[in-house]
Structure 1
Amino acid sequence: MRQLEGIKILLVDDEESILQFLELGLGNEGAIIKTATNGEAAISIAGAFKPHIVVLDVMMPQLNGFDTCQRLKENGNNIAIIMLTAKDDVADRVQGLRLGADDYLVKPFSFSELLARIHARIRNQFPMLLSAVRYGDFTLDDRRKEIKLGEEVLELSPTEYELLKLLLANHGSVLSKTVILDKVWGYDFGGEQNIVEVYVRSLREKLGDKEHRIIRTLRGAGYRMDL
C-alpha cells in the first residue's frame, strides 16, 4: 500500500537536488507532486494545483519562505505548510508559525521524519483522505480507531491506541516522556511521568516485544519505535 496515494504535495526549494530527492521519495509513496524553485512560482502553481501539503524552504532568493507562507495562507487555500530551515533558530520557527505555518523541520532531516510530519498534517486537516496508513507491519485506521499488527487487530484501550499511534507516526525518532505526556495525556496532566512506563510496558506485552526491539528505551532520552 502506498501511504500517500492521491495526496497533492507542492515542494518549494531553490536547491534542485533536494527537490529531486523529495519528488522521488514522495512520488514512490503515491503522492501527486508539483515543484517550484521560488516563492512566486509556488503561489502561481498553488492556485491551480490546490495542494493539500506545501513543503516550503525558508531561505530562497526574491520571495522568501516566510512571505510565501503568508501569501499562500492569505489566498484562502486550505493547505498545510511544513517549513524547512537550515538553522535551528527559535525566532525563525516562531515567525513561521505566526504567519500560518503548520509545522517545522530543520535541515538536514530524515525522509521518514518528513513523511511522519506529512501524515500528521493530513490526519489533522484532511482525515477524509486517509482510510488506513501502513507503518511497516502495522496498519493504522484512525477513522475506525484501529491498529493491526499483520492481520491481527490489536486490543487496545483508548490511551494505548493514542500512545501507539504517536509512536508509529514518529517512528525512528526519540520521544521524551514529557513530549509523550503532552501529546497523549495533555499538557495539564497532573500525574506522574511513570504512567508512560506503565503504558509502554503494556504495549510491549500486546506486541510480543519481550526483547524491546520494537519500542526501544533510550535511557535519559525517551522511547523510539523501530519498524
Structure 2
Amino acid sequence: MVIKRFVVGNVRTNSYIVYDENTLDAIIIDPGANPKMFIRYIDKNKLRLKEIILTHYHYDHIGAVEILKNMYNCSIAIHKKDVEGLKDPNTNLSRKVFRKPISITADKVLLEGDVITFGDIKLKVIHTPGHTEGSISLKVENENIIFTGDAIFCDCIGRWDLKGGSEEKTRNTIINIISKWEDEVKIYSGHGEIANMEYVRRENKEFLYILNN
C-alpha cells in the first residue's frame, strides 16, 4: 500500500491518494483543491482511480471532486448523514468561499462498518460525528492507520460550531471511539501532521480536556 499526501487549498487541507502498488487500483480521500496536482500524480503512476471518498462535506475537502470525477469516471462516496450537505453550497460553505458554489451528488452512501475495497486494500468506515453529522474515519485493515478527516488532528480537534456540528457528538466521539484507539495507531488527519495516538494522548490539549472534563 502506498499513501501519498497532498496539502492543498487556502486552509492547507490534507488530501490522500491511497493505492495498491500491485494492481494500481487507487482511491482519493478528500481532494480539497488543485485537481491538476492529483491528475499529474495519477497519470504519472498509471493509477486506476476507483473512488473519491469524502470524510465530510466541507468546501476545503471537496473542491477538486467534480473535475476528478469527470476525468476518471470514478464514484463519489460520503456518509449518509452528509449527503444533503454535500449538495447544499450553504451547508458545505462553498457559496461563502468560492465564486462558484459547489453542489455534488454522491454516487455511494456510506454507513458505519462498511468496507471499501480496492486492489488488496480494505478500508473500514468508522462513523465519528461531531464536526458534521456524517463525519467518518477510515481504518486500514491489518494496519495501524486511520484517516480521521477533521474528527481529530495531532494537536487539536475538529470544530463543532459550523452547521451540522455538535459539541455533544464531538465529546461522545472522542470519549467513546477515538480514545479507545491504541497508542500505535497513526492518524492521517484532514489538517496538520501525521501522528500516532501516543503523541495525541501526550500533546493534544483539546483531546485531553474533553477526556478529563
Higher strand share: 2
Greater RCO (CA < 8 Å, at least 6 residues apart): 2
Q: TM-score range by the shorter chain?
A: 0.3 to 0.5
Compute the TM-score of the two structures, normalised by the length of structure 2: 0.32
Query: TM-score normalized by structure 1?
Result: 0.31
**Which structure features the higher share of helix residues?**
1
